[in-house]
Structure 1
């Protein structure tokens, strides 16, 4: 079951959103990297 954003949050995928965060400040960059890692783990656990 893929994890998806709410339609109210726009057209970006979660991956696109967190990849964009990597180009911002150091805290946002860290959050973006960690969330991308979490999304990968969740995809593997819940195909």
Structure 2
């Protein structure tokens, strides 16, 4: 699973497709929750969870 910001969501989708050779699940993280999770590529607050 990859946590990512809006800017890096396409990159995360490509990485999951390349790794698992299947269409990934894309889940938008709930607004209003105080998450400390950051984007794995740039350390901005994560907005999406990409996984298989």
TM superposition score normalised by structure 2: 0.34
Give the structure, 1 or 2, with the largest relative contact order (CA under 8 Å, sep 6 or more).
2
Q: Which has the larger radius of gyration?
A: 1
Structure number having the greater helix percentage: 1
TM superposition score normalised by structure 1: 0.37
